[in-house]
Structure 1
Amino acid sequence: MSITYESPNQYMSDNTSLFSTSDNEATPSFASSATASTVQPSIPMHQEFMNVIQSRQLQGFNKNATFYRHQNIEDLKPIDSSTMHTLMLNKQLLIIDVRAYSYFAKTRIRSAINVSIPSVLLKRPTYSLEKVCESITYDEKAADRLRLWSQATHIVFYDHSSYSPSDSGNSTTAILLGSKLRSAGYKGQLNYLQGGLKVFYELHVNQCEIGPFNQQPLVFNRSKRPTNIQLPLPTSQVTSGVNPFFTNIRQNLELSHGPLKERFDVRLPWGLLNKDGAIYSNSPLSLSSHHPRFGLAGSSVDVKGNLQLPNWIRDIMDTENGPKKLAEMYELLERTEQKRLSTIMKHHSKQSGDDHFPFSIASSMEKGALNRYNNIWPYDYSRVRLNQTNDDYINANYIQYATIKKDITIDPISQSDHEIRLAQEGLLTQASLRTMDRVNVGLDCNRKYISTQGPLPTTFNDFWKMVWDENSQVIVMLTQEMEMNKIKCHQYWPSTMHVPKTYGVYTVTLLSESTKYILNMNDKRERNEDDLIMIRKFSLKHEGQDERMITQLQYTGWTDFGVPDQPIGILELVHQADAASREDMGPMIVHCSAGCGRSGTFCVIDTIIQRLWHERDVYTCSSTDKINQTVSRFREQRMSMVQTHRQYVFCYEVVLWWLLGYGNLPVSQPTSPSISIESVSKNSVESQERSSSIGSMVDDFKEL
């Protein structure tokens, strides 16, 4: 068996070392070796599989690496705008902007340095302060100034408008960077600017800068194509007492510090407050154009007309215990996946043949040139198989939430010993097995997706073949081609209008391209040039058959590892994807870079909105947490779906905003007899075109 395993763009995205791990959405599995305290028992191994894993370890092995341990920065003290303005006269002040670069480039405090790095990277012990400096590519002088951090008497972090780190989605960047500075010996004062740029700009506009830098834009040379590089395999000798699979599992490193320490609040729209589970407004403008969707998800209305949250959302919105509960739920998901991946590695280390293990990744291990990253593999039972005889592999999985109907006439499906054991261990549900049978007998099914990696030049033909084979007509792209100076996705579509381009036996023609900007939720006149949806229409032809129309929706406001600054863009993207879908088409194809973090988050949000609208979940006292339930199910179908703690919290945030009236209702009407369509929304189609605020069920309560 010929085994190749390198990510082709691994050698294009990092110039420091041929064997350095890529900073990709799928956390590289080989950033450091296990220390003595994390050494695992040795296990018997299948020879070829062991060779692959052992080779990868040699690439990323760093015997000097130490595990990052989360530190609470108790001295990240608040500082007001007036005090900071006075300190700016002191040249020993260092100001760090932790917002996304697109916002920093638009408006910033004078002399500030933008550091917008995913927390997943900052957690790594190998991601040093020097690497932080190297990540600053917009201005060489800014990187040089950051290297002089030891000379600063004060280092001040700021974001949009937070008064404390706990208020901000960017807090982790400040906390982790502050921890690295302390570990490196910084003795000065660490501060967080109260009110962020918003308050400082209002008081000291003369100390702010507006407008972009004059730096040269980064140019990506598309003529270069990655090649598959096969390294010589090592011998079968294994260090006694060490499990070579240990660092191959992301959670082994990320959970090695104990329980999660990070806490994230679910943010409400401006002007809204939560009091004992009721959402009310402290501003007459905050709900003027948005009507809560009373009744959905088990919500209700109180005597004052405020939305009363359902129990499962009320608990995580509790100021004191909510963030902790979210962290505990996400950690349980992570530990379950850790157990699932450990089971996979143990299985492959002992087995010599294909015995229909549902979570098998053997087919992927042999396809190095076809995998963007070397630690994200599709599970065998749910993977998409190309309709061809020589090689059916593509790094993609079917994703779908379905429930088994309570019907005693439906025969149980036959299960293998592996499937029974995995079910007993809580790693695989019968619902997932039934869903992936693709028969859907005895199932209540929600929308079906294909979650896949960003196509590589080596997989362009396969990608378009998958689009054709599956009759998919909507593609949701959640990444830019280049992010943080790294290749995240290669352009797999033609860029010249009405000029056909051939991908294998398929011809793709760009018919139209338009842009929909995401407007500021409080000021509709303001728009961010980097927060937008590109809408492209293609025709797809194959060997004289009728052409098909394909819609691609590319959302640019979501950086790798992170979350958007507000849910408005994602709600609009969900609506655009829903409007472009039809019942007679195949699965919606969703991809980011690795096809798990951002892709998983989108699939969960879209599925939850569909579930809440179509299921019999109206005017009930529902206590079922559908978001946690859906994330858990999707992780059975593709690894690391919803990959970070912040993305997990963001799912709740978006769904809450949707319940509060933001975004649109699904295009198709609910079929549940417990919902009166007329009482939900009269003339709903016309209303959706005029505004995103329809969907209120308050009339039902008036009748009661």
Structure 2
Amino acid sequence: MLLKRPMYSLEMVTEQLTTEREVEAFSNWRRFSNIVFFDATGAVPSKGSPIFCIAQKFRKEGCEARLGYIHARGRLHLGSLPAMITKPGAGDTVACETPMMENPNVNPLFESVRQAMGLNTNITEEVAVRLPAGFSVDSIRSQLPAWLLNSLCEGTGKTNLAQDFQRVEIAEKKRLALLMCPQEMRSGRTTNFSIGAGIEKGLKNRYNNVWPFDHTRVKIQEPEDGVDDYINASYLRPPFSEKTYIATQGPLPSTFLDFWKIVWEQNSRVIVMLTREMEMGRIKCHQYWPSAQQPSMDLGSIRLTFLREEWPDVADTTVLVRQMRLQHLGYPEEADRVITQIQYTGWPDFGVPDTPLEVLEVVKLANEHNRRSGSGGCRVQNR
């Protein structure tokens, strides 16, 4: 669906790649005289097909390379690819004959879901629970639930913990597989796990494999003319708690207005940002807030003004607190609101912090600022 959109450029395709090696290889497409496409479904390219659409994008951006595609028949044998590339057919687009994929029921959509890619239903290693410095099992035993105590048992704790995670991952992989199976997608039925809006509104997603469920997604209450109510954001309510949160991706420049609209509409006063702007040379989150260097940000009906920025603890350089004034020009009678953004830079991509103490400090700061604001709205958390 994303490839069919004329505005979805090769640069946007690059942003969806997950490793530096992939980004570097794809970004250098101008250096190649031959480019070969492969569609996991094995379909022959036709107007509107993924291969057809991406080939059009290359041509639109001035690609003069010879474009080819792998025509799948039988079983795919990667070892034969180099030989096939040396035997191109006639014409501008080359068909390289290869066997069909071994599993005819493979679902490329399911395989690209970020959660599915990270699931491993085998126990590959056993890691013991790490306790923060100064803590012991005996000192906190009375405060821990039974399942966690079971994972802290001397001798068998590591195995118990690994088996717990294995059961969770097996159940999650089964759920995702059922959700993405072709007959379920064609049925037109809406379930609690439907993700139709996220797939359809692809240009509004930072990543093409992380979507909100339809039944929990946040909807823009007053979208701009000609714009839909979609934003990649979901309501979260922890069990046994009256607090409500909104989890969302770091917005793209094209969705800055959408992001700040839900902050206004949901009466959110605290934003917790769990990522850096740049990581490993790639943009992980565009700067959607004003700064001391650019103190004013106008986004149509929304205006933001920089107020202050500080490190709460001089010794800690992983938590940064910013404050800004939020105005909605469509509601001049409404008072301006002070928004607090707490940015935690110690959470690595595809990893976890070395200690939970910094995360607990972020939670403490968020609670304090939320109490000061006197707001009953949702807190926004973006990653």
1:328 alignment partner, SS class: helix
1:528-607 equivalences in 2 (<5 Å): 531-543=317-329, 544=332, 545-582=334-371, 584-592=375-383
1:625-664 equivalences in 2 (<5 Å): none
Residues 445 and 571 of structure 1: is their aligned pair in 2 closer, same or farther, counting only changes over 3 Å? Answer: closer
1:501 aligns with 2:294: no
Looking at structure 2, the residues matched to 63 and 341 of structure 1 have their Cα atoms a distance apart, in angstroms, of 28
- Match of residue 447 from structure 1: 243
- Match of residue 125 from structure 2: 262
Q: How many Å apart are 1:244 and its aligned residue?
A: 2.8
**Pairing partner for 2:25 from 8, 13, 16:** 16
Looking at structure 2, the residues matched to 382 and 562 of structure 1 have their Cα atoms a distance apart, in angstroms, of 26
- Match of residue 248 from structure 1: 112
Q: Is the 8 A contact 1:6 1:373 kept in 2?
A: no
Q: How many Å apart are 1:320 and its aligned residue?
A: 1.7
2:242 alignment partner, SS class: strand
1:221-236 equivalences in 2 (<5 Å): none
Q: How many Å apart are 1:492 and its aligned residue?
A: 0.4
* Structure 2: gaps spanning 5 or more residues: 30-37, 42-47, 55-68, 80-99
- Match of residue 372 from structure 1: 206
Matched residue type, 1:263 = E
Looking at structure 1, the residues matched to 51 and 112 of structure 2 have their Cα atoms a distance apart, in angstroms, of 8
- The structure with higher relative contact order (CA 8 Å, sep 6+) is 1
Matched residue type, 1:449 = Y
Matched residue type, 1:15 = E
Q: How many Å apart are 1:350 and its aligned residue?
A: 4.4
Residues 463 and 19 of structure 1: is their aligned pair in 2 closer, same or farther, counting only changes over 3 Å? Answer: farther
Over residues 204-239 of structure 1, what are the superposed CA-to-partner deviations in whole Å (9 max), with x where a residue is unaligned? xxxxxxxxxxxxxxxxxxxxxxxxxxxxxxxxxx96
Q: Is the 8 A contact 1:508 1:538 kept in 2?
A: yes
Q: Is the 8 A contact 2:219 2:230 kept in 1?
A: yes
Q: Is the 8 A contact 2:269 2:377 kept in 1?
A: yes
1:386 aligns with 2:175: no
Matched residue type, 1:270 = A
1:381 alignment partner, SS class: coil
* Between 554-563 and 474-483, the greater mean CA deviation after superposition: 554-563
**Pairing partner for 1:463 from 255, 259, 268:** 259
**Pairing partner for 2:310 from 476, 499, 514:** 514
Percent identity of equivalent pairs? 38
Q: How many Å apart are 1:572 and its aligned residue?
A: 0.8
1:394 alignment partner, SS class: strand
- Match of residue 165 from structure 2: 330
Q: How many Å apart are 1:537 and its aligned residue?
A: 0.6
Looking at structure 1, the residues matched to 132 and 293 of structure 2 have their Cα atoms a distance apart, in angstroms, of 40
Residues 334 and 499 of structure 1: is their aligned pair in 2 closer, same or farther, counting only changes over 3 Å? Answer: same
1:313 aligns with 2:148: yes
Looking at structure 1, the residues matched to 165 and 77 of structure 2 have their Cα atoms a distance apart, in angstroms, of 30
Looking at structure 2, the residues matched to 497 and 332 of structure 1 have their Cα atoms a distance apart, in angstroms, of 50
Looking at structure 2, the residues matched to 260 and 54 of structure 1 have their Cα atoms a distance apart, in angstroms, of 41
Residues 371 and 581 of structure 1: is their aligned pair in 2 closer, same or farther, counting only changes over 3 Å? Answer: same
Q: Is the 8 A contact 2:39 2:51 kept in 1?
A: no
- Match of residue 160 from structure 1: none
- Match of residue 634 from structure 1: none
Looking at structure 1, the residues matched to 309 and 356 of structure 2 have their Cα atoms a distance apart, in angstroms, of 24
Q: How many Å apart are 1:571 and its aligned residue?
A: 1.2
1:343 aligns with 2:157: no
Q: TM-score, normalised by structure 2?
A: 0.70
* Between 330-339 and 365-374, the greater mean CA deviation after superposition: 330-339
Residues 18 and 358 of structure 1: is their aligned pair in 2 closer, same or farther, counting only changes over 3 Å? Answer: farther
1:325 alignment partner, SS class: helix
Q: Is the 8 A contact 2:268 2:375 kept in 1?
A: no
* Structure 1: gaps spanning 5 or more residues: 21-31, 35-41, 43-49, 66-237, 280-291, 293-298, 301-307, 403-443, 519-526, 593-704
Q: How many Å apart are 1:349 and its aligned residue?
A: 5.5
- Match of residue 86 from structure 2: none
Residues 263 and 52 of structure 1: is their aligned pair in 2 closer, same or farther, counting only changes over 3 Å? Answer: farther
Looking at structure 2, the residues matched to 495 and 255 of structure 1 have their Cα atoms a distance apart, in angstroms, of 39
Matched residue type, 2:261 = K
Q: Is the 8 A contact 2:39 2:50 kept in 1?
A: no
Residues 269 and 345 of structure 1: is their aligned pair in 2 closer, same or farther, counting only changes over 3 Å? Answer: closer
Residues 310 and 393 of structure 1: is their aligned pair in 2 closer, same or farther, counting only changes over 3 Å? Answer: closer
- Match of residue 480 from structure 1: 276
**Pairing partner for 1:361 from 174, 195, 205:** 195
Q: Is the 8 A contact 2:312 2:319 kept in 1?
A: yes
Over residues 164-183 of structure 1, what are the superposed CA-to-partner deviations in whole Å (9 max), with x where a residue is unaligned? xxxxxxxxxxxxxxxxxxxx
Q: How many Å apart are 1:15 and its aligned residue?
A: 2.7
1:550 alignment partner, SS class: strand
Q: Is the 8 A contact 2:114 2:210 kept in 1?
A: no
1:177-188 equivalences in 2 (<5 Å): none
1:38-53 equivalences in 2 (<5 Å): none
Looking at structure 2, the residues matched to 261 and 558 of structure 1 have their Cα atoms a distance apart, in angstroms, of 24
**Pairing partner for 1:399 from 210, 225, 236:** 236
Over residues 578-618 of structure 1, what are the superposed CA-to-partner deviations in whole Å (9 max), with x where a residue is unaligned? 111146421110111xxxxxxxxxxxxxxxxxxxxxxxxxx
Looking at structure 2, the residues matched to 501 and 253 of structure 1 have their Cα atoms a distance apart, in angstroms, of 38
Looking at structure 2, the residues matched to 397 and 53 of structure 1 have their Cα atoms a distance apart, in angstroms, of 32
1:380 alignment partner, SS class: coil
Residues 350 and 448 of structure 1: is their aligned pair in 2 closer, same or farther, counting only changes over 3 Å? Answer: closer
Q: How many Å apart are 1:309 and its aligned residue?
A: 5.0
Residues 271 and 569 of structure 1: is their aligned pair in 2 closer, same or farther, counting only changes over 3 Å? Answer: closer
Residues 7 and 466 of structure 1: is their aligned pair in 2 closer, same or farther, counting only changes over 3 Å? Answer: farther
Residues 347 and 378 of structure 1: is their aligned pair in 2 closer, same or farther, counting only changes over 3 Å? Answer: farther
Residues 16 and 550 of structure 1: is their aligned pair in 2 closer, same or farther, counting only changes over 3 Å? Answer: same
